[in-house]
Structure 1
């Protein structure tokens, strides 16, 4: 099951990045799919697919390099680097996916601009004024 879940997540990302076809994602998501953001907001399946669709135009040509895909039971974690041509170093992304009966039921996403990674190592320190 763990390998199957990893394959489902990788297929979803490959479909999206490779074809730009957001509609190809829809059948891989449960009807009650929820996407969670670090700011505690979440979106439904329809809202998330609409947001992904809207992002495709400005992100056309985005390169995705999957660094790690780990699975444990019904969860898959993927770490990737993403960038636009000529816009290195790009972003580092951690996606956490929960699968239910072969479909993606929940997703969490954390995005960090690679150029700001060093300053984020001391996030607790007061900002210099």
Structure 2
């Protein structure tokens, strides 16, 4: 089952990256798809597809390098590095996808500019005053 789930996510991403269109992605999402952001906001399938569509033109030359694609139960986790077109930054992204009945039902993402990573390595240390 987890191999099938990984292939669903892989197919969705390949379709999006290869075609540059959300039309190929839309049928792989459940009708009640929800996309969650770290700031606790979420969007519906229609809202998320519109946001992805709006980002496609400025990000058409983005390079995506997948470092890890892991599956456990109904979840697939992808860790990737994405180089945005100039003058954009390189970002590290963790996407978590939940699969239900062969479709992507939920997605979560965390994005961090690689240039900021070092500053975030010591967030747990108390302030030195």
TM-score class, shorter-chain normalisation, is over 0.9
Task: Please name the residue that 2:37 is paired with.
Answer: 37
Task: Please name the residue that 1:47 is paired with.
Answer: 47
Query: Partners in 2 of 1:25 and 1:15 — Cα distance?
Result: 6
Q: TM-score by structure 1 length?
A: 0.92
Structure 1 runs of 4+ with >4 Å offset: 85-89, 124-127
The unaligned stretches of length 5 or more in structure 1 are none
Structure 2 residue matching 1:22: 3-state secondary structure:
coil
Residue 21 of structure 1 deviates from its aligned partner by 1.2
Q: Deviations over 1:6-57 (max 9, x none)?
A: 0000110111111101111110000000000000000000000000000011
1:10-21 aligned at under 5 Å gives the runs 10-21=10-21
- Size of the aligned set, in residue pairs, is 128
The unaligned stretches of length 5 or more in structure 2 are none
- C-alpha contact 2:59 2:85 (8 A) present in aligned 1: no
Q: TM-score by structure 2 length?
A: 0.92
Structure 1 residue matching 2:15: 3-state secondary structure:
helix
Structure 1 residue matching 2:16: 3-state secondary structure:
helix
Q: CA RMSD in A?
A: 1.9
**Residues 125/13 of structure 1: CA separation in 2 closer, same or farther (3 Å cut):** same
Task: Please name the residue that 1:24 is paired with.
Answer: 24
